[in-house]
């Protein structure tokens, strides 16, 4: 079977809406993909502020934003379809939405972006609410990407996504484990913004800084890092806990960037050690997300993981940048087939589950 799907992802770093048109093929249980078109539509300042401040709204205004953002996403998708001449080629859309409230310990998770509104604007079927069933079954609702790593990226032992939050997946035998490691690009980008830059290109600023031992220790001592998986982080952990903590230290921006980069790589190493592979043979870790383009961060990862016989692999730029949107498309295809698309071994739910609400467009 072949599925032509638009996958949508809005990450915690607020850089924009990732849109990917992918062709997914399944033959006797084996999945392959082709990314035919992909782009990141940057958020206007107003939308960045709307999404960032959503958690402060009252219930009425939050739901109005939920609907408005759905219409906004629908318009962006329509523009994308027209630019890439995809009329009559898209079977359906799989939309992750933008996570706001993520409280699995209280049985709830919320992503902005009304699927009905997207379907109404585009006229296409839309699958949204991709985490809700897992959370209802007692799971963390995160990470949900490991099903895509299992089906689309075999041949690796570990998969690391360096987005607004860094998360790690690991394969031990036939069991997949995954969890959020630490805030990543959202903190690095916020630090770079102090110098008027949207991000630290290639990690050059961090490379010129000096690690501060006291700050590094304070970062590594955060209680979250002592928890066992399954576990997941809310977006506000970076903004409400980590950034204010860093602000208590009188360091140069470069020093803060260098220290936080060191924190990320140390936490990744600890995460890898928490889910060891079956043997000491050479293992591969696939790195994707915006952080995959941070050359200094990747070099530091390679250095710290080499003693563990782990090779760090960065794929082609398109896969590195749009892997999450690609996996959302796959999760949508599995929902379309009514097959499990979230793994309980990852989230801690009582069972694997089929996640996603289906909204029909014109068809």
- Residue 176 φ/ψ, nearest 5 degrees: -110, 135
Query: CB under 8 Å to 185, separation ≥6 — which residues?
Result: 11, 13, 162, 163, 164, 199, 289, 290, 291
Structure pTM?
Answer: 0.86
Q: Is residue 212 pLDDT above 60, yes or no?
A: yes
Residues 86 and 190 in one domain: no
Q: Which residue has the higher pLDDT, 93 or 173?
A: 93
Residue of 16, 119, 9, 117 lying closest to 70 (CA atoms): 117
Crossing angle of the two packed helices 115-122 and 59-83, in degrees rounded to 10: 30
pLDDT of residue 161: 92
Name the helix (H) or strand (E) containing 174.
none
Per-residue model confidence (pLDDT) at position 236:
81
Q: What is the pLDDT of residues 109-140, one digit of tens each?
A: 999 999 999 999 999 999 999 999 999 999 99
Give the mean pLDDT of the chain. 94
pLDDT range class, residue 171, cuts 50, 70, 90: confident
Please give the full DSSP string across 44-91, using - where no structure is assigned.
Answer: PHHHHHHHHTGGGS-HHHHHHHHHHHHHHHHHHHHHHHHHTT-TTT--
Mean pLDDT of 39-44: 94
- Residue 124: φ, ψ to 5°: -115, 155
Least confident of 134-143, 171-180, 204-213, 346-355: 171-180
Whether the per-residue pLDDT at 221 is higher than 90: the answer is: yes
My answer on whether 315 and 327 are in the same domain is: no
Question: With the CA atoms of 330, 336, 339 and 341 taken in that order, what torsion angle do they form, in degrees rounded to the nearest 10?
Answer: 40
Distances (CA, A) of 182 to 25, 189, 297: 33, 14, 14
Q: In sequence order, which residues have a C-beta less than 8 Å from that of residue 297 and are 6 or more positions away?
A: 162, 203, 206, 261, 264, 265, 291
**Confidence band (pLDDT; 50, 70, 90) for 43?**
very high
Return the SS3 of 128: strand
Give the range among 118-127, 163-172, 331-340 with minimum mean pLDDT: 163-172
Sign of CA dihedral 262, 264, 265, 270: positive
- Angle among Cα 130, 72, 184 to the nearest 5 degrees reads 55
pLDDT score of 44 more than 90 = yes
Instruction: Give per-residue pLDDT as tens, 241-299.
Output: 999 999 999 999 999 999 999 999 999 999 999 987 665 557 899 999 999 999 999 99
Same domain, 169 and 281: yes
Q: For 224, which DSSP code? A: G
Residues 159 and 302 in one domain: yes
The DSSP 8-state label assigned to residue 166 in this structure reads: E
pLDDT in the model for residue 278: 63
Residues 188-201 pLDDT 10s: 999 999 999 999 99
State the pLDDT at residue 297: 98
Residues 354 and 254 in one domain: no
Residue 330: partners with Cβ closer than 8 Å, 6 or more residues away = 5, 7, 24, 31, 33, 94, 147, 148, 151, 152, 341
Q: Are residues 6 and 20 in the same domain?
A: yes
Q: Is the separation of the CB atoms in 207 and 74 below 8 Å? A: no
CB 275 within 8 A of CB 248: no
| Claim to verify: residue 135 and residue 235 sit in the same structural domain | no
For residue 73, what is the domain's CATH number? 3.30.420.40
| 209 & 134 share domain | no
**How much is the pLDDT for 230?**
82
Print the domain residue range for 194.
146-319
How sure is the predictor about 330, in pLDDT bands with cuts at 50, 70 and 90?
A: very high
For a pLDDT cut of 70, what percent of the chain falls above it?
Answer: 98
298-324 pLDDT per residue, tens: 999 999 999 999 999 999 999 999 999
Question: Do 156 and 282 sit in the same domain of this protein?
Answer: yes
pLDDT band at 108 (very low <50, low <70, confident <90, very high): very high
Question: Are residue 311 and residue 339 in the same domain, yes or no?
Answer: no
Question: What does the pLDDT look like over 262-278, one tens digit per residue?
Answer: 999 999 999 999 987 66
Structural domains in the chain (count)? 2
The answer to whether residues 62 and 126 belong to one domain is: yes
Residue 235 confidence (pLDDT) above 90: no
- Measured from the Cβ of residue 273, the count of other Cβ atoms closer than 10 Å reads 9
Are the C-beta atoms of residues 343 and 352 closer than 8 Å to each other? yes
| 108, 156: one domain | no
């Amino acid at each position: 079977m072949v599925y032509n799907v638009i996958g949508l992802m809005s990450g915690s770093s607020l850089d924009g809406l990732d849109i990917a048109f992918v062709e997914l093929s399944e033959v006797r249980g084996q999945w392959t993909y082709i990314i035919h078109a992909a782009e990141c539509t940057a958020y206007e300042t107003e939308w960045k502020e709307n999404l960032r401040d959503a958690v402060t709204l009252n219930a009425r205004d939050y739901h109005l934003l939920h609907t408005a953002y759905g219409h906004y996403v629908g318009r962006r998708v329509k523009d994308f379809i027209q630019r890439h001449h995809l009329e009559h080629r898209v079977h359906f859309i799989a939309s992750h939405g933008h996570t706001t409230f993520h409280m699995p310990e209280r049985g709830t998770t919320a992503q902005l972006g009304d699927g009905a509104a997207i379907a109404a604007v585009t006229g296409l079927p839309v699958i949204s609410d991709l985490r809700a069933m897992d959370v209802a079954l007692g799971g963390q609702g995160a990470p949900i990407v490991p099903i895509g790593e299992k089906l689309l990226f075999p041949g690796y032992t570990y998969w690391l996504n360096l987005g607004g939050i860094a998360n790690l997946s690991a394969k031990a035998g036939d069991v997949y484990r995954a969890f959020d490691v630490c805030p990543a690009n959202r903190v690095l980008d916020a630090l770079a913004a102090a110098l008027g830059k949207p991000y630290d290109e290639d990690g050059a600023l961090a490379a010129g800084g000096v690690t501060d031992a006291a700050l590094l220790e304070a970062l590594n001592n955060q209680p979250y890092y002592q928890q066992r998986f399954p576990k997941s982080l809310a977006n506000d952990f970076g903004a409400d806990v980590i950034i204010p903590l860093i602000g208590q230290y009188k360091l140069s921006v470069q020093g803060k960037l260098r220290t936080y980069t060191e924190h990320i790589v140390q936490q990744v190493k600890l995460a890898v050690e928490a889910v060891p592979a079956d043997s000491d043979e050479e293992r591969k870790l696939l790195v994707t997300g915006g952080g995959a383009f941070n050359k200094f961060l990747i070099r530091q990862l390679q250095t710290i993981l080499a003693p563990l016989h782990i090779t760090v692999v960065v794929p082609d730029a398109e896969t590195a940048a749009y892997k999450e949107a690609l996996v959302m498309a796959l999760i949508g295809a599995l929902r379309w087939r009514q097959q499990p698309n979230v793994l309980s071994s990852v989230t801690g739910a009582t069972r694997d589950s089929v996640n996603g609400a289906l909204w029909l467009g014109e068809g």
